[in-house]
Structure 1
Amino acid sequence: MPPAKARRAKARPAAAILGRLLKNPVGATSLSFIVVMFLAAIFAPLVAPYDPIAISPLERMQGPSLAHWLGTDQLGRDVLSRIIYGTRTAMRVALSGTFGALAVGIALGMISGLGPKWLDSLLVLLNDSLKALPLVLFALALVSIYGPSMVTLITVITISMAPGYFRVVRNQVLVLRNADYIIAAQAMGASKLRLGVTHLLPNLIGPILVLVAMDIPAVIGIESGLSFLGQGVQPPEASWGTMLSEGYAYLRQAPHIAMTAGLPIIFATIAFTFFGESLRDALDPKAAGGRK
């Protein structure tokens, strides 16, 4: 098949999945919200009306107005600008942590599923041990050793989320490695690396994408929670969790700070959760029809 035709043939399933996703009102709405979030994160310097760390003591804790649509915080900083830059922080941590965990989980899951029995048992034991660790205590332990920072936060997320991807990939590999096309590829001399990358990984993309979409809101919650406790993103960098913590201290004088900081966390969690469910239905429309 000519390269151009091959590319078009590969693009058809993706276009069909996107079409089914957009036909679902919930999927289309959640996808639209996620796209807006990513655009706000990418173009934050152009979208934000003010510098998010610019302090204005004369405008402390003002309510929403034409000058400051969502008001100002305890230091006179524009709340809307900090929420927009907080979106950039949330997306950076969520994507870095999730895809870091994804890379580790895929690599170890492939090795476990295709490797010898003793290595599989060792990796499963390691995976179960990591999964049993209490997330908050594990995060606080790492922070106490290395100090609160973006790198520490992403490391915590990567280590804590990787076991979920490992388990999915390993189970799928164990099921697929006895398929006829895998056995035929082995008979033709394909290496285990080629089997994993060329033959097994394409069949894992669907379940992995759904799992990623479902995990991103959890990662946003982890980042916001640790930042709320002062162990995540450090001031003056904008973070929804940090804003929520600062707003909580001034809840009586300026309730708009905590309220406007909490809403993006809620909306992002709902959007990614509904998107993950809609994507799952779009990837498997027969199962979706059965659930209905």
Structure 2
Amino acid sequence: MSSETGTSTQAPGSVDRSVLERVRSELRGNPLTLAGALIVTGLAAVAIVGPVLTPYDPTTQELANRLQSPSLAHPLGTDQLGRDVMTRLVYGARISLGIAIAVTAIRVVIGTTVGLVAGYAGGWVDEALMRLVDVQLAFPGLVLALVVAGILGPSLRNVMLALAVVGWATYARVVRGSVLSVKEREYVHAAKLVGTPPRRIARRHLLPNVINPVIVLATLNLGTVVLATAGLSFIGLGAQPPTPEWGTMLAGGRNYLRSAWWLVNAPGVAIVLTVLGFNLLGDGLRDLLDPRQQSRLEEV
């Protein structure tokens, strides 16, 4: 059949020159994806440059200024210890996004490695690794993270380790499913016949062709990790005072809901916007990177 049927002749793992154009088209045609991208970009900018712009220290207490309502000097008011809420919110963005990126990166590395090995090796290796994945998935992720964090002790580092340990199995299952399909293609068999080492086959032929669902899953997981980190910190297993983390800010302000509403509203809105931004962006990336979705769009 001719190339007009839509069959791609592009070499495996090569860069598609139309990717940027498809991204622009997705952003122009889907306002929700654009909104998600803007939210995530804005949060990243705040996390990077925000602490440089604020004149206050996030942990310095000024009891004379405690529980001041929002004003020009303190746009989001002050907390029960006189600390500027906006400053703590900005520093909290750096902490929350940093932990989300670190946890997601660990999940991706572990899960992708396990999925590649299981899918390519097959046999008893695949069976053993998938049973390990099944055991991990049998427990609710947040509950298991709660147990791990409780055993290790309350700290941000332990929360990060707990969330990373319990979240990699989904990546492993997704990657394994993609590898089982990709490894049966002609170019993979050809690479085996010429004696290409398995590690090189995995790096050059398998990984580039299974990375799209990993990117989508990682984007969606970033918001989930931010929410889980805040939740564990809220109950006292994560960041400890005076660390300016969104979950601890919620915990500290819950006793002032009527007299100082901004103490809870500010970090609460920040968490909602962060999760919403990553979810909208992840949905847009799924539509953009899913080949089946692209085929359906081309047929319309």
TM-score, with structure 2 as normaliser: 0.89
User: How many residues align structurally?
Assistant: 285
Question: What CA deviation, in whole Å up to 9, does each residue of 1:75-127 have, x standing for no partner?
Answer: 11101111111111111110000110000001111111112411111111111
Alignment CA distance shift 1:25-1:49 (3 Å)? farther
Percent identity among equivalent residues?
A: 35
User: 1:1-292 counterparts in 2 under 5 A?
Assistant: 10=15, 12-23=17-28, 24-284=30-290, 286=294, 289=297
- Which one is further off, 193-202 or 13-22? 13-22
What is the alpha-carbon distance in structure 1 between the residues aligned to residue 241 and residue 55 of structure 2? 20
Secondary structure at 2:168's aligned position in 1?
helix
Question: What CA deviation, in whole Å up to 9, does each residue of 1:139-189 have, x standing for no partner?
Answer: 333233321122211111111110110000000001111111111111111
Q: Which runs of 5+ in 2 are unaligned?
A: 1-10
Correspondence for 1:3: none
Q: CA deviation at 1:54?
A: 1.3
Aligned 8 A contact 2:51 2:87 in 1: no
What is the alpha-carbon distance in structure 2 between the residues aligned to residue 139 and residue 245 of structure 1? 19
Please provide the CA RMSD for this pair: 2.0
Aligned 8 A contact 1:40 1:47 in 2: no
Q: CA deviation at 1:11?
A: 6.4
Alignment CA distance shift 1:47-1:17 (3 Å)? farther
Alignment CA distance shift 1:291-1:218 (3 Å)? farther
Q: CA deviation at 1:250?
A: 1.5
Q: Which amino acid aligns with 1:214?
A: L
Q: Which amino acid aligns with 2:255?
A: A
Aligned 8 A contact 1:108 1:166 in 2: yes
Q: CA deviation at 1:287?
A: 5.5
What is the alpha-carbon distance in structure 1 between the residues aligned to residue 236 and residue 193 of structure 2? 56
Question: What CA deviation, in whole Å up to 9, does each residue of 1:177-214 have, x standing for no partner?
Answer: 11111111111111111111110111112111111111
Alignment CA distance shift 1:35-1:268 (3 Å)? same
What is the alpha-carbon distance in structure 1 between the residues aligned to residue 95 and residue 168 of structure 2? 21
What is the alpha-carbon distance in structure 2 between the residues aligned to residue 279 and residue 38 of structure 1? 18
Say which structure is richer in helix.
1
Alignment CA distance shift 1:255-1:291 (3 Å)? farther
Q: Which amino acid aligns with 1:189?
A: G
Aligned 8 A contact 2:223 2:275 in 1: yes
What is the alpha-carbon distance in structure 2 between the residues aligned to residue 170 and residue 207 of structure 1? 11
TM-score, with structure 1 as normaliser: 0.92
- Which one is further off, 18-27 or 83-92? 18-27
Secondary structure at 2:167's aligned position in 1?
helix
What is the alpha-carbon distance in structure 2 between the residues aligned to residue 54 and residue 179 of structure 1? 61
Secondary structure at 1:43's aligned position in 2?
helix
Q: CA deviation at 1:47?
A: 2.8
